[in-house]
Amino acid sequence: TIKIVYRSGNLMNDVYMISWNVEYAMGGEVTTEGDVYSFGILLLEMFTGRRPTDDMFVDGLTLTKLASTGFPARVMEIVDPSMLEEHDGLAKATDSCGQASCGRSGCRLRRCLVAVFRLGLRCAAESPRERPNMREVVKELEGIRSLMLLGPSEAEATRCRPSMWNPSSAAPLHL
């Protein structure tokens, strides 16, 4: 096994290591569960455009708390706006599901974002036992990719259903 040796002292390193992975920061052994946690934080960083060390994270606010606050209803507010720029106006579109940010392809985009954030939050769960294994992670990522790559006729068949956005669902999102 590999053991991370970490010496406290540099405040920025202390904050970064603790927000990065508590298990590693405490000098624990490198584990698959820790790697899954790190992957979850990486997903949240990429899709929020924020780092765990950003100045906004004070007084108990963390990247995972930011991502989970108002999830999934506020997913379009949480996502990095630069990710939406290439999707011409999806942030303002609505359709028959009545949800903001759900134009024809916008609903599909929203479902993908909800699935990515849900996966990131599951991977970054505090308890290692609550985290998925990497096989589950890969399966979910493949499902998200498939949904995003659907053609127009297939996309029309995938209707927005608010029940799919249930934040209490601990089960993988089946697309």
pLDDT category of residue 164 using cuts at 50, 70 and 90: very low
Q: What is the pLDDT of residues 23-71, one digit of tens each?
A: 555 566 788 999 999 999 999 999 999 998 888 989 989 999 999 998 9
The DSSP bridge partners found for residue 29 are 3
CATH number for the domain formed by residue range(s) 31-165:
1.10.510.10
Q: Is residue 116 over pLDDT 50?
A: yes
Predicted TM-score (pTM) of this structure:
0.68
CA torsion 126-79-45-132 (nearest 10°) is 40
Average pLDDT score over residue span 94-121? 72
The reported pLDDT for the residue numbered 127 is: 93
Q: What is the pLDDT of residues 131-162, one digit of tens each?
A: 999 999 999 999 999 988 875 555 455 544 44
Distances (CA, A) of 171 to 21, 121, 153: 23, 12, 28
CA 87, 91, 93, 97 dihedral sign is positive
Phi, psi angle pair for 51, to nearest 5°:
-110, 155
